[in-house]
Structure 1
């Protein structure tokens, strides 16, 4: 399933790069669906959950950015100096914060729990 996920993701980004709107847009759904399914299947493993959630948000941000360019609102000012494309930072940063939480909070807790368990 992960390999199929990569294929869809590559097709989406090739569609974006080549400005093949139907290909790029049609690959959003299968790419996100498989990413969500992988995330659901790994939900009981904290490290996998964090990384797969970050990937879901990355694909979401990437897809939004692609759509903003295809639809022509990527350079439209939304608020102050923020353009339509900049709104992709919301899911990008969400994924980043999930990983920061995992590495700064969750993983150290897991390491401490392992150390206590081996004593």
Structure 2
């Protein structure tokens, strides 16, 4: 039951993200900026809810970082002549770091531990 609710929440988050990016594409500045808060809040809340599952935690940290970078990039394009893009890249990079830590550090260690338990 809890897992089903979390998946529904993740799907709602995708809708929020798409709405935010649609506002960006359509150059609806006020609406786009307004959509940042629920989109980022949902990303962080989903990360918090999924923290007990290592794979979910690291993937959700990457998604949260990506959305923060995405929002920063959008604000930069809307209001600051696209000068925020280098800062957005930092958030995208952080997302890749989370995935790298998971796939090259955590996951191999978990697999070794499972094999040693057999």
Q: 1:29-77: per-residue Cα shift (whole Å, max 9, x none)?
A: 10111111110011011110000000000000000000000013314xx
2:23 to 15, 21, 25: 15
Segments of structure 2 that go 5 or more residues without pairing to the other structure are 1-8
The answer to whether 1:60 aligns with 2:68 is yes
Structure of greater Rg: 1
8 Å Cα contact 1:11-1:23 kept in structure 2: no
- Match of 1:27, SS? helix
**Equivalent position of 1:51 in the other structure:** 59
Q: Tell me the matched-pair count.
A: 110
Aligned CA-pair RMSD? 0.9
1:39 aligns with 2:51: no
In the alignment, structure 1 segments of 5+ residues that lack a partner are 76-83
Question: Can you list the C-alpha shifts for 1:58-114, whole angstroms capped at 9, x where unaligned?
Answer: 000000000000013314xxxxxxxx3122111100010010011001000000000
- After TM superposition, the structure 1 = structure 2 runs for residues 1-119 of structure 1, keeping only pairs within 5 Å, are 1-75=9-83, 84-118=84-118
TM-score (norm 2): 0.90
Please, what TM-score do these two structures have when normalized by structure 1?
0.89
Moved over 2 A (4+): none
- Give the structure with the larger strand fraction: 1
